[in-house]
Amino acid sequence: MEEMEAGLYEPTGRLPSEAEIGDRFGVSRVTVRLALDKLVQEGAVVRKQGKGSYAAGRQVRHGLDTLRSFHESLKLQGLQATMQLLDKRVVVLPEEVRQRFAPAVKGLLLQRLHLVDGEPVALGESYLPYKLHTYDWSEVERRPAYSLLQDKMGEGPTRADIAIRAQAADERMATALKIPVGEALLVMRRTSYFGSGACCDHSHFYVRPERYEFVLSSTFR
């Protein structure tokens, strides 16, 4: 446990085999397996079928009771959070998205990889107002969508509708997030609105669940 916390097994996080651990500490494989089982239950170790055991990264939390950008949520936790811009282009909005942005027909599509300590935790896809297409690549890569909206549109979102579901990773998601195809992901769909009620952001975040959890504080009424 101390070696995992010290980052000894980074960057991949892969632990030695059960046999190697047993030889090192002079214990049986049964003892090693029981110890790993306990660490899995505690969330310190993740088993990947056919690949072995891995040290789990630091758990990241995203509060749903406060409206803030995905990237800002990571930064506020004191994490080394960065974004990698994968795509930035003007597109004809898909029908479902077009209904939200009506009467606009075109918008800006951003695809960005969110990383913590250089490791991908989420793939984000955002449709934003066409007016934001004038931002250059480097600025879009380092600034969250809400910040871009505030500067270009003169106001930021005042509310958002958020839904969370599970989905298996397809090949594109798996490649970006460095996980096997078919592995379970958390998907956060977020639609944000200006005070006028106009839609200003429609995003999906495909999140690795072993590193991330959504939390909500509520009171009894």
- Give per-residue pLDDT as tens, 168-220: 999 999 999 999 999 999 999 999 999 999 999 999 999 998 767 777 777 77
Q: Are strands 199-207 and 184-193 parallel, antiparallel or unpaired?
A: antiparallel
**Residue 220 falls inside a structural domain:** no
* 2 confidence band (pLDDT: 50, 70, 90): low
Distance CA 91, CA 130 (A): 9
85 and 185 in a single domain? The answer is yes
State the CATH number of the domain containing residue 206.
3.40.1410.10
The model's pLDDT over 133-177, given as tens digits with 9 standing for 90+, comes to 999 999 999 999 999 999 999 999 999 999 999 999 999 999 999
**Residue 221 falls inside a structural domain:** no
pTM, whole model, 2 decimals?
0.74
Distance CA 207, CA 186 (A): 5
State the CATH number of the domain containing residue 7.
1.10.10.10
67 and 106 in a single domain? The answer is yes
19 and 120 in a single domain? The answer is no
127 and 49 in a single domain? The answer is no
Number of domains in the chain: 2
11 and 88 in a single domain? The answer is no
70 and 176 in a single domain? The answer is yes
Torsion angle of the four alpha carbons 45, 124, 159, 149, in this order, in degrees rounded to the nearest 10: 140
Is the dihedral angle over the CA atoms 69, 176, 106, 90 positive or is it negative? positive
Phi, psi of 187 (to 5 degrees): -120, 120
* Domain of 50, in residue numbers: 2-55
20 and 122 in a single domain? The answer is no
